[in-house]
Structure 1
């Protein structure tokens, strides 16, 4: 190579020309030249289609006219824009002057990046609002703080593809170690490596999944945070990771994690049922009753089990467990000058019992006995399966108890006989159709 700025300039120019020439044949990381064995998904798909259809094969790739192959990325983008305009025009024509709404939702792809989907339709209800505000235990300040910290930790660990890759690598290594020492078993679809999930405000089931995923990947999450705390590129990254790691290594956070898992695990079945587009009212009411029963049972008999579960978890994660018999003190308590209590009293009464009582109160307010009876009686009007649940007595009771002012005494008398005629008529119709 010659010396001096002119020689360097000529060398750089040649390099740029070579790269430019190569870029004409390489598209999106693939070598699209005819002799290449890795031409990319698009061209490989065209070649596959051509091999199955002679008419297609006669018009594409090497058999296409020299100036009409339509395989360059610029042409493909133009074709996609034509499709997009046609779709938009069709949607506008179909909607016309009618009312419509937009549904916007997002989800993470395989690389953990958020992808947004937008749908135009005439009805925007998806069942999520049934459970809006359902988890009012969050009104307890400590519970609110826990969820804020949970979201903070997940956001830090899931902030980039690199961190997610580290998380999966640490989790895979953890699983392999536990298998080697015999603590867990192997098998099909067992011990799969997943990731952390950000909770969504409108769907409380996502909070439950976030908690379960964090418990499953607790050790791996701690390792990722330790790495960021030591090697983060900025002081804010290192500081946030250090704070998050201290949270994970605290008994307080571990306790909230497990109490939330147990309580929300019980309510999640009801939550899922009430978010269905097609409601089975009778089944939902049975779930309300069973949910109340299980929540009350957890309050009455679940403390020892919860404490043992948290203690075992903390020992496994090397988290210090406080002495339950020692005096508990906090800034809030000292300022309020309240009587001193033990650590066990704080976690059992101020947290465990308070959370469950709040949830029971919310369930009782939303689904009191009168509301449940109204809904159960209303199921007799369910038209599915030719009014299989139709019952004359239930309808009469529904009128007498919940709609007495809508019917006169004479109308109530006639109603029973009219319903009996209808019931018999339906039965005769079914028999005639067999």
Structure 2
């Protein structure tokens, strides 16, 4: 008659209490794994037995958390039941895998139906296994350039077909539309150059607009700046030199002093010309080795988008030559009208005026709610921005590749290594998801 004392109700209450303890224990383990991964710390220890003086970061941090909370202290480590401690290496790997896959799903949702660029680097780990890292570059719904670390893949060799097969497999596994690839860049070593060239061709067979731009495309900007600095320095030197000679000549009454001044001027001019020639030759060699004629023309035509008045003919030429199948004939006509109207709109709308980069133009179109009005211009801008051509926006991709190579010094399984890197590099996403 006493329902509260009924055996079924007692079992239910006991089960509910046990479930709450298990959830708290698991939550502590998840938070510990996540925090250590965010700090790029190792999880396991060399000796994890209870008598060890250092049981590894994971168990030591659990012990620290337990010392500050009695509720946690009563359910973790030795106080936990044998089959539900949630501290084993397999549990840690499973937690990492779940968090990393959540991050990858978020990246997939960020990309959506947008075009994206594939950035790849390769290196060998401590056991001499070849691995490639995949970073995606795309424009999100807010018009902001994003670069996301997607995965780390072990490859049996570095042949072009092997690289493409593994890259395709990973992209399809995470449900990316490979037909949306609109750029590719690789940062391989010199002995990998032929493989990268072959990979470019294989990718272009399936993705007509996957134009190749080297990962260090921003060196174009540095090269131009360096060259202009040389010209400025030479100009200042010549100006000061001529002024000095004129003063000397004006104050000198002797012919030998004038001849000496002229001889000195000639020697210094020759030295500077040699320096300037060497500097310019170096910059030209850098540009020729990094960029082919097709890439240079694509960059040149794209640059007209950030002038005070957009060159309509140049942008239409860019679309006709590089993205012919992405625009219908009617859209090509409409694009020209949109560009002409946009040039008028720039003079009237201060929020559209003064755009200094293509990335700024993309964000301004979103912020001013002009993206729908100039939807064809927006499409052109997003196609161009998938190519890694600016220093500021490729830093994360380079950082990911640097971290990737540093981590290869340590021996760890491929999945563990990949998941660890994804969470560490994309921790701003992981923090929001868990």
Q: How high is the TM-score relative to the length of structure 2? A: 0.27
For normalisation by structure 1, the TM-score amounts to 0.27
Name the larger-Rg structure: 1
